[in-house]
Amino acid sequence: DARVTQTPRHKVTEMGQEVTMRCQPILGHNTVFWYRQTMMQGLELLAYFRNRAPLDDSGMPKDRFSAEMPDATLATLKIQPSEPRDSAVYFCASGRGTDNSPLHFGNGTRLTVT
């Protein structure tokens, strides 16, 4: 059963530190999404890639967040410098890139910035 893999599962860091979250999409999937989950906002889309090219990152604070896909098997989400308000669960999801195909989510990275 193919799954999206995210690392680390948990991350605690101090304000101002750099945080890198990694995602391995399902082999053969060509779309990758980063979502942030908070109690107040629910799931917010941060970035969206198709065939490794960024299509939409309008939901991402550009001054401190960056998302990349160095290759088809790895997507990264970086926060530099991190702030306490970044504390949330960050989910990666991948899909086949066809209409109405369901997204497959990873287990998420729970980030706590103190």
Q: Which of 13, 20, 22, 43 binds another protein (CB under 8 A)?
A: 43
- Mapping DSSP onto H, E and C, the string for the chain reads CCCCEEECCEEEECCCCCEEEEEECCCCCCEEEEEEEECCCEEEEEEEEECCEEEECCCCCCCCEEEEEEECCEEEEEECCCCHHHCEEEEEEEECCCCCCCCEECCCEEEEEC
Q: Which of 27, 42, 70, 71 binds another protein (CB under 8 A)?
A: 42
Q: Which of 11, 19, 24, 35 binds another protein (CB under 8 A)?
A: 35
How many CA atoms lie within 13 Å of 82's alpha carbon, on the beta-carbon side? 21
Query: Is residue 53 at the binding interface for another protein, with CB under 8 A as the rule?
Result: no
The rounded distance, in Å, linking the Cα atoms of 106 and 101 is 16
Q: Which of 52, 74, 103, 110 binds another protein (CB under 8 A)?
A: 103
Q: How far is the CB of 76 from another protein (least distance, A)?
A: 19
**CB of 18 or CB of 56, closer to another protein:** 56
Per CB under 8 A, the segment of 13-21, 44-52, 63-71, 72-80 that binds another protein is 44-52
Residues that bind another protein (CB under 8 A): 3-4, 31, 33, 35, 40-45, 48, 56, 91, 93, 95, 97-103, 105-108
